[in-house]
Amino acid sequence: MASMEGEMLKGHLDMIVLAALSAGPAHGYAVIEEIKRRSGQAFDLPEGTIYPALHRLEQARLLTSRWVTAESGRQRRVYALTRRGESALAEQRAVWRQFSDAIGGLLAGVRPSRRPA
Amino acid sequence: MISAYLEALASALSFDRSLSQCVRREVEDHLREAVAADPEGDGPEAERRAVAKFGDPRLIAAQFAAVSLARQTRNVGAAVILVIAGVFVAMKARLAWYAVAQCVLRDEMRAVSELVVSVDRYAFWLSIAVGITCWAYISSRRTPATFHSSYRRELHRFFLLCVIATGALITSVASDGVLTALRLFEAESPFDFLIPIFSMAIEVAGAAVLVAHIRTVTRRTASTAALLGTRAGLPL
């Protein structure tokens, strides 16, 4: 799968970061590695763009962070999802599935299945 | 290579010193880990690759500028509330002092005083109402990923509310100054001056701090807009 363009990811970066952290607390580098792994290397972002997103999500109280000392002795900032972050991720996931079904149906030339009311 | 990159990033983030130090530590850990994980070794080439993958420091700083600005505008919203509360406490302390010191106005001053008290009261209530709206408005905004035009409009509305709240507060503080001056004409000993003047100093200082704070953040907004405008062509 070709590496996706930055512009395509721009609008979904928050959701991507939240999803990467849904596996558990992680520092910035581990978040990027998790994104690459779970996307099958498709999301090859400039790594530095993750950090403003992490700070922004923390400001929105979707994440929390703490400094820990790594095995290497370096100071490391570890981020974790808050309850609010989990809810936001669940909400974004539902919206994405609906959108994805609709686009999938459109591209395949069939009607997307309607959800029961 | 990593040290030079960190210097460049810290320099680009110099608009917010605490953020700059924090990001520098965080990025250093990232880059050292990337070098250690590089399958082709950990020499200068690995450092060069880690830095290249991380991205342009000016672009990253521009994205942080939006985050930093959002935090500062929230601080201004909180400052509006705190200063109004501080002015209220100072005002009440002065009135309590007048009661204790049995400081009363001369009859010929009463008409002027009543007019100024009305202005003071309405201005202060206006500052409270708009100040709370201002704080609630900015607290309910989510920090956007980019400094787009709708966010700029939101900031514009926020600063307008701040200016109205601060203007009303300044009117209230000026009215308090007039009322204090009227009372001090009656003061018999220098001791009677102390509490009123001290409480007025608190009110004036609070209003001045608020004006300075709003001015700083409006300037920062303009510089952030300019910074992000010059980076608009860069990816993400």
For the segment B141-157, the average pLDDT, to the nearest whole number, is 80
Please list every residue in chain A whose beta carbon sits closer than 8 Å to the beta carbon of residue B151: none
Q: How far apart are CA B72 and CA B169, in angstroms?
A: 21
Smallest Cβ–Cβ distance between B29 and the set A53, A56, A75 belongs to: A75
Is B34–A55 a contact, with Cβ atoms under 8 angstroms apart?
no
Smallest Cβ–Cβ distance between B55 and the set A13, A14, A47 belongs to: A47
Alpha-carbon gap: A40 to the closest alpha carbon of chain B (Å): 18
pLDDT the model gives residue B39: 79
Please list every residue in chain A whose beta carbon sits closer than 8 Å to the beta carbon of residue B235: 5-7, 46
Alpha-carbon gap: A95 to the closest alpha carbon of chain B (Å): 19
Please list every residue in chain B whose beta carbon sits closer than 8 Å to the beta carbon of residue A55: 64, 67
Across all residues in chain B, what is the average pLDDT? Answer: 86
Smallest Cβ–Cβ distance between B55 and the set A9, A10, A49 belongs to: A49
Q: Model confidence over A41-81: pLDDT tens digits?
A: 777 778 898 999 999 999 989 999 999 998 888 889 999 99
The band of A110, judged by pLDDT with boundaries at 50, 70 and 90, is low
In single-letter form, the type of residue at position B165 comes to A
Is A52–B60 a contact, with Cβ atoms under 8 angstroms apart?
yes
Is A48–B55 a contact, with Cβ atoms under 8 angstroms apart?
yes
* CB-CB contact of B25 with A28 (8 Å): no
The CATH number assigned to the domain with range A6-108 reads 1.10.10.10
The separation between CA A112 and the C-alpha centre of its own chain, rounded to angstroms, equals 25
A21 touches chain B (CB under 8 A): no
The band of A100, judged by pLDDT with boundaries at 50, 70 and 90, is confident
Is B236–A9 a contact, with Cβ atoms under 8 angstroms apart?
yes
Query: Residue for token digits 């580098």?
Result: A29
* CB-CB contact of B60 with A48 (8 Å): yes
B236 touches chain A (CB under 8 A): yes
Please indicate, yes or no, whether the overall pTM of this predicted structure exceeds 0.90. Answer: no
Query: Residue for token digits 């007025």?
Result: B200
Strands (E), chain A: 26-27, 63-69, 75-81
Q: Model confidence over A21-35: pLDDT tens digits?
A: 998 999 999 999 999
CA-nearest residue of chain A to B71?
Answer: A59
In single-letter form, the type of residue at position B214 comes to I
Extents of the domains making up chain A: 6-108
Q: How far apart are CA B140 and CA B159, in angstroms?
A: 15
Comparing A7 with B54, the larger pLDDT belongs to B54
Is B67–A28 a contact, with Cβ atoms under 8 angstroms apart?
no
* CB-CB contact of A52 with B53 (8 Å): no
Please list every residue in chain B whose beta carbon sits closer than 8 Å to the beta carbon of residue A48: 27, 54-57, 59-60
Comparing B42 with B229, the larger pLDDT belongs to B42
Smallest Cβ–Cβ distance between B67 and the set A10, A59, A72 belongs to: A59
Alpha-carbon gap: B113 to the closest alpha carbon of chain A (Å): 47
B60 touches chain A (CB under 8 A): yes
pLDDT the model gives residue A8: 63
